[in-house]
Structure 1
Amino acid sequence: MEDPFLHLASLSSYIAQKFVQFIEDFICRDILGWSEYLVDFGGLFVNFTSDGGCRTVPEACSFPSRVSDTGTIFRFHTRRSSYVNDNLPVNSLLEIVRSNQSYGGFRLIFEGLMLPVYGLRFTWKLTLASWRCFISHVRCAFVQVQSIISRVRKTLRGSSDDIGWLQQAPEMAPVVDGSARFRELLQDIRNGQHTLPDSFVYLLIPGFFSNHGPLYFVSTKKFFSKMGLTCHIAKIHSEASVEQNAWELKQCIEELHWGSGKHVMLLGHSKGGVDAAAALSKYWYDLKDKVAGLAFVQSPYGGIPVASDILRDGQIADKETRRIMEFLLCKLIKGDIQALEDLTYEKRKEFLKNHKLPDGIPLISFHSEASIALNVIATMSHIAHAELPRLPLPGFGDNESENVIQAGCKVPVIVPVSAALALCALHLQLRYGEKSDGLVICRDAEVPGSVVVKPDIKLDHAWMVYSSWRKDPNEADASEMCEALLTMLVELGMKRKEVC
């Protein structure tokens, strides 16, 4: 049996040894860590003591970082306790490692000589970073200049590459000139020979801004009604999109056909011709037994440069211009910006690619050229009535007086439309070298596969639908021209039936 005193002595010795180890760790971590400094020079740690000397210390020792009084930053490390415990005796706590002053001084001199090299390397990196930043700014400025140049070129170029694209497309059918026959029919009508049959329903389709012109097609409808012909003006939203108006026209044609049992002859002016063509293209299966023909009157079938120049993306102030047009069309007129966008060359190309006019239907394309003479610019046209807001006037308790007040809200307005269209025609001729009626280029109004009619007099875009303030009795008016176009359309339909 072992002696318990021997176990007690061993335990006391073990406790004493751990206590001595704790004291050694405490002194090495705290006293040496704050009274002496180790500086890291490329893996060699130099210990600066209080008496001005220095000693090299192996990498295994590490002390906390310190900053010298002179502002130089050194890396200090805390000695690891395991290294101290394994290599230091209890009686030599302050003597950590043996120093080699000559070797440490050589390393200090070498590191001092390397400072200019480090400075040169830092200067090179700073110069390289500055150069890269300069090149980046130059590239950004170059891209911005290129973008501005591209916008300027696109703005100046305008619609030069799009005008007349219908004639340049190889898949489009050729047109036939029918101006001579039109002049013959117009002369017969002026001589009192009216051959337009009453076996059809004649539907007049108005164009852009027709909702704000109460006199739109009114004189033509009265002229046809006096001859005993069934004539209607399509009730569509003139500032709506082509898709919406095509659907409304489809329903209107079906109602007229079911109500009368007659085929419908269509005559569309400006955007009205585009809407009618869209109705036939999209719903021909439902309308092929109801429509007898379509006459385009100054219709931008291929597109209109005014709409493209206003809404073209990538030109100067394109976003601001679109916002202005959206405010005018959507807020003030209560229309749809899509109505104007559908008339751009880009949208027309896309639509005609997907929806072509059916074969076998008689088509007539009527386009004219506006006069740009100085006397025309000075003329005025009586085109519409303005609907003023209701005035809070007393009605005196009489229904008749209320009707008088409401009727007085509509007053005639003299608008210089002829002068404005003459200026637009002059602008299009100077910029693109193209003849137009003030809005529609003549080449863009020629529908492929149609009979083209060109009058021998110069007419602007609004002449065909609004009554002129000063009418020349020696010249045909808009109603007689519409009758000649529809008479010619009936003849084309009869000839096609004979061929078939």
Structure 2
Amino acid sequence: MTPSQLEPPSPPTPGTITRLARTLRGLPPAERWWGPGCAGMAGWLKRAALSLPPEDLTPRFRALLAKVREGEPVLPDEAKHHQYVLVRGMLGDELPGYLLDNVQRLERRGLSVREAAVDTEGLLADNVAVLREALLDAEHFGRTVVLVGHSKGGVECTATLALYPELHHVVRAVVTLQAPYGGSSIAHDLATTPELRRVIDFAFPLLFHGVSRSVEELSYFQRQAFIQQHPYPAGIPTVSLASSRLSRRSTLYPLQRYLHERYGYQADGMVTAVDAEVPGARMVRLDDMDHAEAAMRGLPGLGRYHPGDVTEVMVALALETR
């Protein structure tokens, strides 16, 4: 028997989850925290708004959705004149099938579609720069753009137009799907609770090569500061989807229940419905959709919506306004 055969085998390299668990165990105990969390913060923007109440498009949405489900066309003729830039939300790069049905549906309708190359765990400023380049490209080739952003992606769409008003003429319309425009209760608690903050500070870089500050940017404090300095401009045709759901059949039920029982918030599991309302936007409000259903196909019998159907109808609604 050779010496190499006598040597014990090398231990396997620990996986990511194992390394994360060891790292967290090695940290000093987090401060015990019994603060108010984000109690009373949801809907701050709506309470402060001085504008007229938004137009409720929910009945129109349901009517068009019924047509789409029957295979009837709902997009106007002008739809083929624009380019559609879809923007992923937080962790979108990590989720198989994320926005796949949304993109494929628009492509099957003969539309020009591209996904913005944003870093879904990156900072707002970096992703805004990516969207600005996409708009500049469209301007160079004489095209107009419809921006479609899900979750954090919707925040980045609106931020780009708030920061670069000279590009408004390039954008035909904006669609936000469950975007935490006013802030995210879940992100706020993750960023401000000591016992949770250390998880994102270590898990985000280790598991997703992300920046934990990208979560903090969706807290109420930071969204308030940004919106006060860079309000969403008027005059851009915008349609926003706000949703909520409280159902054991939802994969996000634990988060829905947390927000409902701790704060009394009606949420889709990640965003409270009232915080998804963009000032000046025409609104679609659903009380039976969780945060994943607008961007990912669910298991049969668990979800009520198909992402492609939702996207097609929302785009049709956005193009009805000039």
TM above 0.5:
yes
Aligned equivalent of 1:353: 228
1:159, 1:279 → 2: CA distance? 27
By how many angstroms is 1:255 displaced?
Answer: 1.7
What is the letter of the counterpart of residue 470 of structure 1? P
Aligned equivalent of 2:319: 490
Distance 1:422 1:232, change over 3 A: same
1:468, 1:331 → 2: CA distance? 28
- 1:396-475 aligned at under 5 Å gives the runs 418-419=250-251, 421-455=252-286, 458-470=288-300
What is the letter of the counterpart of residue 278 of structure 1? A
1:295 aligns with 2:125: no
CA deviation map 1:424-446 (0-9, x unaligned): 10111111111110110011111
2:294, 2:125 → 1: CA distance? 25
What is the letter of the counterpart of residue 263 of structure 1? T
Aligned equivalent of 2:151: 270
CA deviation map 1:175-219 (0-9, x unaligned): 221111111222222233324220111111110001112421112
By how many angstroms is 1:230 displaced?
Answer: 0.9
Distance 1:172 1:334, change over 3 A: farther
1:321, 1:441 → 2: CA distance? 20
Gaps of 5+ in 1: 1-147, 377-417, 494-500
Distance 1:472 1:169, change over 3 A: closer
2:207, 2:253 → 1: CA distance? 26
Q: Is the 8 A contact 1:175 1:447 kept in 2?
A: no
2:313, 2:97 → 1: CA distance? 21
Q: What SS class does the counterpart of residue 198 from structure 1 fall into?
A: helix
1:472, 1:245 → 2: CA distance? 33
Q: Is the 8 A contact 1:273 1:296 kept in 2?
A: yes
More helix by share: 1
Distance 1:172 1:239, change over 3 A: farther
What is the letter of the counterpart of residue 276 of structure 1? C
1:363 aligns with 2:238: yes
Q: Is the 8 A contact 2:74 2:313 kept in 1?
A: no
Gaps of 5+ in 2: 1-30
Aligned equivalent of 1:305: 185
1:479 aligns with 2:308: yes
State TM-score, norm by structure 1: 0.55
Aligned equivalent of 1:252: 134
Task: Select 2:122's aligned residue among 240, 243, 254.
Answer: 240
Q: Is the 8 A contact 1:217 1:233 kept in 2?
A: no
By how many angstroms is 1:253 displaced?
Answer: 2.1
State TM-score, norm by structure 2: 0.84
1:303, 1:489 → 2: CA distance? 23
What is the letter of the counterpart of residue 270 of structure 1? S
Q: What SS class does the counterpart of residue 247 from structure 2 fall into?
A: coil
Q: What SS class does the counterpart of residue 289 from structure 1 fall into?
A: helix
1:348, 1:472 → 2: CA distance? 32
Whose radius of gyration is greater, 1 or 2?
1
By how many angstroms is 1:229 displaced?
Answer: 1.0
Flag the structure with more relative contact order, 1 or 2, with Cα contacts below 8 A and sequence separation at least 6: 2
Superposition RMSD on alpha carbons, in Å?
A: 2.1
Distance 1:280 1:430, change over 3 A: same
Q: Is the 8 A contact 1:200 1:230 kept in 2?
A: yes
1:304, 1:257 → 2: CA distance? 33
What is the letter of the counterpart of residue 482 of structure 1? T
Distance 1:425 1:330, change over 3 A: same
Distance 1:170 1:228, change over 3 A: closer
CA deviation map 1:137-182 (0-9, x unaligned): xxxxxxxxxxx99x53xx2x21113111011114455322111111
